[in-house]
Amino acid sequence: MMDSGVTVVTNPTVNVRLTSTISSFEVQRRFNRGISIAELKGKLEMVVGASPSCMDLELFSVSDKFLQKMDDNEALLGSYPVDDDCRIHVVDKSGGQMNEFTDVSKVEKFELSDDAYDKKTGTARSFMKKHRIGQFNEEEVAKKKAEHAALEEQQKAAADAISVGSRCQVQVPGQPTKLGTVMYVGTTDFKPGYWVGVKYDEPLGKHDGTVNGKRYFECEIKYGAFVKPLSVTVGDFPEEDYGLDEM
């Protein structure tokens, strides 16, 4: 028989897909065919998180057909029918479960009472206390409370000067000026303080006078809004003529 002179050269490395019983992810890695199965397991430990002593390896074809178990630790990877894009499935015999290391619902939560946290040093709260920041600055807190109380008094005084049925102009910071009619003045259930319910001349509002299921006044949908009293100016603000009656 004549020698054809053809030499079959096997690629010294192989690119395989890796899956495991403790992860739902599939990754790809390239290994040298000359390493032993024991050495392969050592490399797989960094990939799947399982101990080599607890691993069983199963080999699947490119089309994910089971081929055989890779249970000889002394055998070389290249001694198995491993081709590019074959899949090696790692079975963790230690009892690890799918997504065991990514499911935070299984992590025991550390809880610390407010009193215990208050006594700890080196915390954000202890730092804020030491430097009198935020709620721990009594003077600043008192100042803000006084400013808030003064503003509420101004809002109440403004509300007392507004009558239901009055024409008004509404100027809310960051919004265009709007014209409308006062429909409600007083306190509400949805937020503390004094509020003015307005029916706008145009559909520039948020509701029909109903907020959180409670009706405060009636108007068409998107024509109603509640604003703070200081944003409302009452006066002779006739409805604009948009020329709807022109012929």
pLDDT digits (tens, 9 = 90+) for 100-157: 555 556 556 667 677 777 777 777 777 777 777 777 778 887 888 888 889 999 999 9
Greater confidence, 23 or 36? 36
Q: Report the C-alpha gap between 17 and 30 in whole angstroms.
A: 9
What pLDDT is stored for residue 8 in this prediction?
A: 45
Q: Report the C-alpha gap between 182 and 238 in whole angstroms.
A: 13
Tokens representing 210 are 């109903």
Tokens representing 73 are 């630790």
Q: What domains can be seen in the chain, in order of their start residue?
A: 13-92 (3.10.20.90), 160-234 (2.30.30.190)
What pLDDT is stored for residue 2 in this prediction?
A: 47
Which position has the token pair 């009636």?
218
The burial class, CB within 10 Å (0-12 / 13-18 / 19+), for 181 is: buried
The burial class, CB within 10 Å (0-12 / 13-18 / 19+), for 177 is: exposed
As beta bridge partners, residue 55 has 92
Closest to 163 measured CA to CA, from 231, 229, 237? 229
Q: Report the C-alpha gap between 155 and 188 in whole angstroms.
A: 14
Closest to 169 measured CA to CA, from 237, 220, 104? 237
pLDDT digits (tens, 9 = 90+) for 59-105: 999 999 999 999 999 999 999 999 999 999 999 887 655 455 555 56
How many DSSP H helices and E strands does the chain contain? 4, 12
Summarize the confidence of residues 37-49 as an average pLDDT. Answer: 89
Radius of gyration of the chain (CA): 37
- Contact, 198 vs 233, CB < 8 A? no
**What residues contact 122, with CB distance under 8 A and at least 6 apart?**
none
Sequence length of the chain is: 247
Give me the DSSP letters along 112-125: --HHHHHH-SSSHH
